[in-house]
Structure 1
Amino acid sequence: MPLPAQRGARMLHKRSLNLSGHRTSVALEPEFWHALHLIAHARGLALAALVGQVDAARPPDRPLASALRVEALREWMPALPEMAGTDRQDQLG
């Protein structure tokens, strides 16, 4: 029987993209990929272009997968506060 972490890892879909001339891979849940496709379409962008914009704007200490999830949340939840440099627990709790 697989460990819980192994079961969860199978739910992630990995995509390879070319960002700033470098090949990179990002693993996200299918629901996030779907949301990002919808966002890219609504903005008139290819998925790779949207990912490139998010990559360029993310803080250096935030992983790309995390930044993409936050971008999807902000699109569907515009009232989500900007939490950079704050105690995230206080903002959410």
Structure 2
Amino acid sequence: MIRKHSATLHGHRTSFSLEEPFWLELKAIAADRGIPLAALLSEIDDARSPESNLSSALRVHVLETMKAQIAEAAAGT
């Protein structure tokens, strides 16, 4: 199920829609990195292309992070 979330990025309130598994994974990524979720969201927002929307950029970030973790695990075995 898609849920609407709100965050303040660079002093501006914004909202985005994400499925719950993506939201939970973003929270886990922030926790693993030891940074606030808002800081992670800001990083992703800053890095996204102007043609991309924030919801899509967040999903892609989760996908790329998980792919990197799988590659790391495979290289370690």
TM-score (normalizing by structure 1): 0.71
Aligned with 1:61: secondary structure? coil
- Give the CA deviation at 1:48: 1.0
Structure with greater proportional helix content: 2
| Match 2:6 to one of 13, 16, 19 | 16
- Give the CA deviation at 1:49: 0.9
Q: Please identify the structure whose Cα radius of gyration is greater.
A: 1
Structure 1 unmatched ranges of 5 or more: 1-10, 80-93
Structure 2 unmatched ranges of 5 or more: 70-77
Structure with greater proportional strand content: 2
Residue-pair matches, total: 69
TM-score (normalizing by structure 2): 0.85
Identity of paired residues, percent? 48
Higher RCO (Cα < 8 Å, 6 or more apart): 2
**4+ long deviations beyond 3 Å:** none
